[in-house]
Amino acid sequence: MQPAPFPLSPSLWAATAAPPPPTGPLDASAQADVAVIGGGYAGLSTALHLAERGVKVVLLEAREIGFGGSGRNGGQVIPGLKYDPDDLISMFGPERGERLTRFAGATADVVFDLIERHAMDVPRVRAG
């Protein structure tokens, strides 16, 4: 494992989460329909959703799962965007703006549905 190119603060997630699955370096050739680079939230979610649709996926992570920013955030699931819904409608028009607003509003549901569907042993509270 390579040392981080810059010092990283300790991760509360790494200190309290279940240990990641054992992984090793990619030391042989691999074939896939899609290679996902990065084992943070976005990469893991992308790989999972593709695999659920029958796509052969290889996920590559330089360190361990959740090592980077995903393992160093506050752990909240807060749906929303930088702009208010009215601003999005002004910027993108009624159809696209409303569709984007609905998408952003449903992102927490997607996270909690994944946790339930895959019986993930993660602490969670829905209170908002």
The pLDDT tens digits of the residues spanning 99-128 come to: 999 999 999 999 899 999 999 888 888 886
Query: Rounded to the nearest 5°, which phi and psi values hold at 97?
Result: -60, -45
Of 50, 43, 34, which Cα lies nearest the Cα of 65?
A: 43
Q: What is the structure's pLDDT at 81?
A: 86
User: How many angstroms separate the CA atoms of 91 and 93, rounded?
Assistant: 6
85 and 108 fall within a common domain: yes
109 and 70 fall within a common domain: no
39 and 15 fall within a common domain: yes
Q: Name the pLDDT band for 2 (thresholds 50, 70, 90).
A: low
**pLDDT greater than 80 at residue 38:** yes
Average pLDDT value for residue range 28-57: 94
Q: What is the structure's pLDDT at 9?
A: 66
Indicate the number of domains in the chain.
2
Of 124, 19, 118, 123, which Cα lies nearest the Cα of 67?
A: 19
pTM of this structure: 0.73
31 and 58 fall within a common domain: yes
Q: What is the structure's pLDDT at 91?
A: 95
User: How many angstroms separate the CA atoms of 41 and 62, rounded?
Assistant: 15
14 and 41 fall within a common domain: yes
